[in-house]
Amino acid sequence: MKFKYFSVLPQDMQSKPPTIKEIARLLKLSISTVSRALHDHRSIGIATKQKVKSLAAELNYEPNQTAIFLQQGKTKTIGVILPELAEDFFSTAVNAIEDIAYEQNYTVLLAQSHDDEEREKQLVEKMKNHRVDGLLISVAKNTSSYEHFEQLKKYNIPIVFFDRIPCLKNIHFVACNMETGTIQALNYLIKKGHRAIGLINGPINLYASTERRDGYINALLKNRLKFDPSLVINCDLTKKEVELAMDKLLKNRRKVTAVVTFNDYVALYAINYLRHNNVKSANEIVFVSYSNLPLIQYMHHVPAASVEQYPYKQGQKATEILLDILKQKDEDKPENEAFYKVIIESNLIENLK
Amino acid sequence: MKFKYFSVLPQDMQSKPPTIKEIARLLKLSISTVSRALHDHRSIGIATKQKVKSLAAELNYEPNQTAIFLQQGKTKTIGVILPELAEDFFSTAVNAIEDIAYEQNYTVLLAQSHDDEEREKQLVEKMKNHRVDGLLISVAKNTSSYEHFEQLKKYNIPIVFFDRIPCLKNIHFVACNMETGTIQALNYLIKKGHRAIGLINGPINLYASTERRDGYINALLKNRLKFDPSLVINCDLTKKEVELAMDKLLKNRRKVTAVVTFNDYVALYAINYLRHNNVKSANEIVFVSYSNLPLIQYMHHVPAASVEQYPYKQGQKATEILLDILKQKDEDKPENEAFYKVIIESNLIENLK
DNA sequence: TTAATAAAATCAAACGTTTGTGTACATTTT
DNA sequence: AAAATGTACACAAACGTTTGATTTTATTAA
């Protein structure tokens, strides 16, 4: 059982990674000297620096991050919690987050809430335990209470929300203004002659839903059309509810000729529903959606236009803000009580036929 | 500048998170007693345990993981490096990895190589510095040298490869046997009467490409058809090269009536290429691909069948193996020189029309 | 030569835990 | 009554760093 400890170690296997302690011992120097030598501290002689560095290289020394984390009280890690990686919007945002974070030597601790509030809470807890320096969150669509976020403030862990942001006053966030995009979408449809335009919207508690609704209403009013509430249907974005919503729209007393959908997935579900139920008007209904799935161009019935939400830009901006906050904390700047509130304008993009 | 340090702290803001040290001080106990009390150690009196626990709860104490990491020499974190999160195969695999890891109280450090060997190397380095307990990797498609993986062995960080595995002897891996699926695919096509079947394959250095090729050849031979090398084309899976490959197949002296593509994306690119170039035979060519993109059902020209590669199962299995290895290490089991080599059989799944 | 200065290196504490060992005191055994 | 056992706690080292304060050594100025 214990025999292996008596075996002569074959070169490097099994041997613990080298530490500055080890280097110090070998070179008959103090630990602090080694540490400072490796950091090019001015109070260390050039000759010593050389010796230390070359031995470090030879031993393949790598500083133990966990020790540094403890010592410095930070982990150089940012946590990211988002609903669903499989959604293109989020995986693109993650690309940006990773890019920026790595640039500044941060690591990314990623986790998915799968749109489950309970899991989201657990993840926040986990991130806190892991002592991430900061957190980037896009909240689950049915998250209704925000205490778990408040907790982090007590731990002095800054949060930057992006895209799916909670309705709270004092938070940092980056989001896309969906209202402008929605107005563009409606103007586009109205100009094409559509009058009965449906809106398959998301959950009522999402700010994104409110924005779409507001844009929808405002555009109608600006165009001197009256707003018919029965043409706006909220759903939880699942396939089933989308189909129900589409069905409701079809049964509306007015003949709906265009539908604006919360995102490309909703559009897909709706279009698919029409096809599979052989709805006669299937090809007559024009869709406009949000999000711009890259795969959309390969679909059989392509939405006429999509509102681009700039996921990369959002992820990028959110990360930059978070890192900026962290930097300010490092520099011990007086607690800045201002909140970053970045809003990116959405834009309608017509899809090539 | 320094004024704020004199201010009376408003309840909890700014104050450092509580530690067991703090609890010990308040309760006039030793640090070790507090630690043991929180761990329900048998040598601590029940009354003391009560006092400690209730104060801990009151102060909202949470153990500082970074300290524990250092003390225990492990981080309860597994690193995951994969090519591209946006690919559905990988995001599904990540779902499994997260699920299993969280179940066993591990955290996941995720990073994408974007199929860039250089970046992959940097990430491996980063993971090593972060002292992840183990690594899950699906290698970049153009990775040709494997020294960066060898390095980790010296650090005693186990690696489990999944799906995209390198051609190395002594490694743990989970992969899908693409040969069986490929044979099924060819049998399917041959039974339908196809004789000139093209194969748009991946990069030559990927094992997955070899498997597909082998399955392709074997199925032909078993069916007493002769193998025509000009019908097999390797490419790097980019849209451009796929189109080139498709073009080559069209120009082949034999009239290709079916094409097997490396994955659904390749199929999409190929099909799209046919459509956009108004190739007359576009609708006559039957496609069979791998991977089963969930969105495939919404495409205008759906591959007739797909070889399922079970990304969730692969991710799950790989994580289980890694955690198992870690557990064995914990229990100080004699270094087991056996390597896990799990192979999951792929299966052809016909797509509903 | 001696004091003052600069340069180079060391000491020791700290970060927050865990854990092996030591030590009181009370309780039981002989 | 002395010895053995058990209970409940404290002490201190360790994990690998960083860093303020201090000491040693070499260099320069007076």
> Tens digit of pLDDT for each residue in B136-159?
999 998 888 899 998 888 788 999
Is B350 inside any structural domain?
A: no
Is A148 inside any structural domain?
A: yes
Structure tokens at B212: 């597909």
Is B70 inside any structural domain?
A: no
Residue B329's alpha-carbon distances to A12, A206, B99, B134, in angstroms, are 17, 46, 22, 11
Is B164 inside any structural domain?
A: yes
pLDDT classification of B298: cutoffs 50, 70, 90: confident
Question: Which tops the pLDDT comparison, A83 or B352?
Answer: A83
Asked if B328 reaches chain A (Cβ–Cβ under 8 Å), the answer is no
Please check whether residue B149 is in contact with residue B155, taking contact to mean a CB–CB distance below 8 angstroms.
no
Token pair 């940097």 in the structure block, residue: B122
Question: Which tops the pLDDT comparison, B332 or B98?
Answer: B98
Is B353 inside any structural domain?
A: no
Structure tokens at A210: 């409110």
* pLDDT of A335 strictly over 80: no
pLDDT classification of B333: cutoffs 50, 70, 90: low
Is A339 inside any structural domain?
A: yes
Residue B65: predicted pLDDT: 94
Residue A205: predicted pLDDT: 79
Check if residue B50 sits with its Cβ under 7 angstroms from strand D: no
Structure tokens at B198: 């093209």
- Between CA B328 and C1' D4 the distance (Å) reads 40
DSSP lists the bridge partners of residue B342 as B174
Q: Which nucleotides of C are covered by protein (CB under 7 A)?
A: 7-20
The reply to whether B212 and B246 lie within a common domain is yes
Long-range contacts of the stretch B149-156 (C-beta < 8 A, 24+): B149/B124, B151/B124, B152/B124, B152/B128, B153/A13, B154/A12, B154/A13, B154/A60, B155/A17, B155/B128, B156/A13, B156/A14, B156/B329
Percent of chain A past pLDDT 70, that is, above it, reads 93
**Chosen from B91, B261, B302 to mutate, greatest number of chain A CBs within 10 A:** B91
DSSP one-letter code for B299: B
Of B31, B63, B95, which one is at a domain's C-terminal end?
A: B63
- Domain holding B228, by residue range, is 177-308
* Partner residue facing A86 (CB), from B70, B88, B335: B88
The reply to whether B56 and B83 lie within a common domain is no
Partner A, chain B 133-162, Cβ-Cβ below 8 Å? 153-156
Residue B7: predicted pLDDT: 33
Which B residues 233-262 have CB within 7 Å of strand C?
none
Half-sphere exposure of A102 (CA within 13 A, CB side): 19
Transcribe B33-98 into DSSP letters. HHHHHHTT-TTS-HHHHHHHHHHHHHHT----HHHHHHHHT--SEEEEEES-TTSHHHHHHHHHHH
Q: Which of B13, B12, B102, B109 has the alpha carbon at shortest distance from B59? A: B12
d(CA B186, CA B184): 5
Asked if B267 reaches chain A (Cβ–Cβ under 8 Å), the answer is no
Q: Please write the tens of the pLDDT for every residue from A273-290.
A: 998 887 766 678 999 999
Residue A207: predicted pLDDT: 82
* pLDDT of A44 strictly over 90: yes
The reply to whether B188 and B299 lie within a common domain is yes
Residue B4: predicted pLDDT: 31
Ordered strands of the B286-290 beta sheet:
B232-234, B197-201, B258-261, B286-290, B305-308, B347-350
* Partner residue facing B299 (CB), from A63, A155, A300: A300
Mean residue pLDDT across chain B = 90
* pLDDT of A8 strictly over 50: no
Asked if B339 reaches chain A (Cβ–Cβ under 8 Å), the answer is no
* pLDDT of B340 strictly over 80: yes
Residue B326: predicted pLDDT: 95
Residue B276: predicted pLDDT: 85
In this complex, how many residue pairs, one in chain A and one in chain B, have their CB atoms less than 8 Å apart?
117
Check if residue B71 sits with its Cβ under 7 angstroms from strand D: yes
**Chosen from B106, B107, B287 to mutate, greatest number of chain A CBs within 10 A:** B107
A68 CA: nearest nucleotide by C1': D17
The reply to whether A105 and A165 lie within a common domain is yes
Asked if A333 reaches chain B (Cβ–Cβ under 8 Å), the answer is no
The reply to whether B84 and B190 lie within a common domain is no
Q: Which of A305-319, B99-113, B136-150, B246-260 has the lowest mean pLDDT?
A: B136-150
The reply to whether B328 and B291 lie within a common domain is no
Residue B118: predicted pLDDT: 96
The reply to whether A14 and A55 lie within a common domain is yes
Residue B14: predicted pLDDT: 53
- Between CA B46 and C1' D5 the distance (Å) reads 20
Strands A134-137 and A77-82: parallel
A70 CA: nearest nucleotide by C1': C15
* pLDDT of A12 strictly over 50: no
Question: Which tops the pLDDT comparison, B284 or B304?
Answer: B304
How much is the average pLDDT of A39-44? 94
CA A121 remoteness from chain centre = 16
Percent of chain A past pLDDT 90, that is, above it, reads 74
Residue B6: predicted pLDDT: 32
Residue A4: predicted pLDDT: 31
Domain count, chain A: 3
Of A25, A45, A63, which one is at a domain's C-terminal end?
A: A63
Asked if B300 reaches chain A (Cβ–Cβ under 8 Å), the answer is yes
- Between CA B156 and C1' D15 the distance (Å) reads 17
Is A111 in contact with B109 (Cβ distance < 8 A)? no
Q: Please write the tens of the pLDDT for every residue from A125-138.
A: 999 988 999 999 99
* Partner residue facing A126 (CB), from B12, B107, B112: B107
Residue A281: predicted pLDDT: 63
**Chosen from A298, A328, A353 to mutate, greatest number of chain B CBs within 10 A:** A298
List CB contacts (< 8 A) between A268 and chain B.
295, 298
Residue B334: predicted pLDDT: 63
pLDDT classification of B275: cutoffs 50, 70, 90: confident
- Between CA B67 and C1' D11 the distance (Å) reads 20
Residue A215: predicted pLDDT: 97
How much is the average pLDDT of B185-199? 96
The enclosing domain of A106 has a CATH number of 3.40.50.2300
- Between CA B43 and C1' D5 the distance (Å) reads 15
The reply to whether B304 and B319 lie within a common domain is no
The reply to whether B184 and B296 lie within a common domain is yes
Q: Please write the tens of the pLDDT for every residue from B59-91.
A: 999 999 999 999 999 999 999 999 999 999 999
Q: Which of B241, B176, B161 has the alpha carbon at shortest distance from B208? A: B176
* pLDDT of B133 strictly over 50: yes
The enclosing domain of B55 has a CATH number of 1.10.260.40
Is A351 inside any structural domain?
A: no
Check if residue B44 sits with its Cβ under 7 angstroms from strand D: yes
* pLDDT of B353 strictly over 80: no
The reply to whether A171 and A221 lie within a common domain is no
pLDDT classification of A5: cutoffs 50, 70, 90: very low
* pLDDT of B264 strictly over 50: yes
* pLDDT of A1 strictly over 50: no
The reply to whether B293 and B325 lie within a common domain is no
Residue A100: predicted pLDDT: 97
pLDDT classification of B349: cutoffs 50, 70, 90: very high
pLDDT classification of B247: cutoffs 50, 70, 90: very high
Asked if B22 reaches chain A (Cβ–Cβ under 8 Å), the answer is no
Q: Which of A163, A205, A177, A197 has the alpha carbon at shortest distance from A315? A: A163
Asked if A331 reaches chain B (Cβ–Cβ under 8 Å), the answer is no
Mean residue pLDDT across chain A = 90
Which B residues 80-109 have CB within 7 Å of strand C?
none
Asked if A98 reaches chain B (Cβ–Cβ under 8 Å), the answer is yes
The reply to whether B282 and B231 lie within a common domain is yes
Token pair 């390797």 in the structure block, residue: B234
pLDDT classification of A74: cutoffs 50, 70, 90: very high
List CB contacts (< 8 A) between B98 and chain A.
111-112
Is B14 inside any structural domain?
A: yes
* pLDDT of A9 strictly over 80: no
* pLDDT of A7 strictly over 60: no
Give the relative orientation of helices A31-38 and A20-27 as an angle to the nearest 10 degrees.
110
Q: Please write the tens of the pLDDT for every residue from A301-329.
A: 889 999 999 999 999 999 999 999 999 98
Q: Please write the tens of the pLDDT for every residue from B9-27.
A: 334 445 688 999 999 999 9
Residue B8: predicted pLDDT: 36
Q: Which of B104, B127, B72, B158 has the alpha carbon at shortest distance from A70? A: B72
* pLDDT of B41 strictly over 60: yes
Check if residue A72 sits with its Cβ under 7 angstroms from strand D: yes
